[in-house]
Amino acid sequence: MTSPIRNQVGAVFIPVSDIERSKNWYCSLLGLPLDGEILFGHLYDVPMQGPGIVLDSRIFTAEAVLKVPSFHLLTDDIDAAYDYVKASGAEILTDIEHDHWFNFKDPDGNVLMICRLTN
């Protein structure tokens, strides 16, 4: 039987406590304009290339916070990305590991990862 489910990720949901603050933080982190619309008072669809990121304040609880990265963001320059995230004031959790990746936290404590794009 052929599965009716695609082998494709549509979006990853991130629990956030304050949708407006998180929208601004993620847009700033990714160099995106701050003019996007918050939907239904609790959702923000971060404009992404590829699978999406949806910020959702309705699902936020201390237990729902991502303790490990559920995905990674890409960079061509891991050192510049590390310096940029550090300068933003985000809590850095790891040094750059294997010249390839590092982890940090968003304002709600969700653990995020940035990886160097490899060809």
**Tens digits of pLDDT across the chain (119 residues):** 899 899 999 999 999 999 999 999 999 999 999 999 999 999 999 999 989 999 999 999 999 999 999 999 999 999 999 999 999 999 999 999 999 999 999 999 999 999 998 86
Q: Is 96:78 a contact under the CB 8 Å cutoff?
A: yes
Q: What is the dihedral of CA 71, 12, 22, 72, to 10 degrees?
A: 10
Give the pLDDT of residue 117: 87
Give the pLDDT of residue 20: 98
Pairing relation of β-strands 101-105 and 111-116? Answer: antiparallel
Give the pLDDT of residue 107: 97
- Which residue is it, tokens 């294997």? 98
Measured over the CA atoms of residue 68, residue 74, residue 78 and residue 81, the dihedral's sign is: negative
